[in-house]
Structure 1
Amino acid sequence: MIYEMRQYRCVPGRLPALIKRFDTITLKLWEKHGIKQAGFFTTLIGESNQELTYFLAWQSLAERETKWTAFMTDPEWLEARAKTEADGQIVANIVSQILAPTAFSAVK
């Protein structure tokens, strides 16, 4: 198992819109595409409180490529994203890292 950590830094004041989009739209589409989330977090203490960090669990890089590409090109996602950004951009920056657990990690 590998994990992808994604951090979304929002345009100031737009974190609630991003959280709502994940809760009401994105997670349902991920389920449709077989994408498994492993946790969502907001930043209480850190560089910015306008961040959403989440983890995705993948069996392999090949699985990630197939499923993520299908999700990102899904017309339903493209339409929903456009609608949720009608009032303006939500995310200012995205950072993604692919992580492999160590032998002594509690998460495998």
Structure 2
Amino acid sequence: MILEMRVYYCAPTRLPALLDRFRNHTLGFFDKYGIEQVGFWTTLIGSDNHTLGYILKWNSMAEREERWNAFQADSDWIAARAETERERPIVARVENSFLAPTDFSALR
């Protein structure tokens, strides 16, 4: 198992638009492509409260590449993303990390 941790840093005031996009668009595409989420979080207290973090679960990097690339290339997703950013961009930058659980991790 590989976990991918993604953090989206939103442009000021754009976090609600990102949450709406995930709720009403992105998660449907995740389901379509078999992209399994572990969870989503916003930051209450921290260095930046305009962030959305989430974790995805993969069986392998090959599976991740196949499914993520298919999702990113989906013309309906591209159109939905463009429509949600018609007025102005939502995300300023994205960070992602790939994590492997240790042998003593409760989540394996």
Q: TM-score range by the shorter chain?
A: over 0.9
2:72: which partner in 1?
72
Give the gaps of 5 or more residues in structure 2. none
How much has 1:29 moved relative to structure 2?
Answer: 0.6
How much has 1:87 moved relative to structure 2?
Answer: 1.1
1:20: which partner in 2?
20
Q: What's the TM-score once normalised by structure 2's chain length? A: 0.99
1:49: which partner in 2?
49
Q: Does 1:105 align with 2:105?
A: yes
- Cα distance in 2 for partners of 1:26, 1:104 equals 33
1:39: which partner in 2?
39
Amino acid of the structure 1 residue aligned with 2:35: I
- Cα distance in 2 for partners of 1:47, 1:30 equals 29
Please give the secondary structure, in 2, of the residue aligned with 1:107.
coil
Please give the secondary structure, in 2, of the residue aligned with 1:30.
helix
1:83: which partner in 2?
83
- Cα distance in 1 for partners of 2:23, 2:81 equals 13
Amino acid of the structure 2 residue aligned with 1:51: T
* Percent of aligned pairs with the same amino acid: 54
- Cα distance in 1 for partners of 2:87, 2:105 equals 42
Q: What's the TM-score once normalised by structure 1's chain length? A: 0.99
Please give the secondary structure, in 1, of the residue aligned with 2:78.
helix
Amino acid of the structure 1 residue aligned with 2:80: A
How much has 1:10 moved relative to structure 2?
Answer: 0.1
Aligned length, in residue pairs: 108
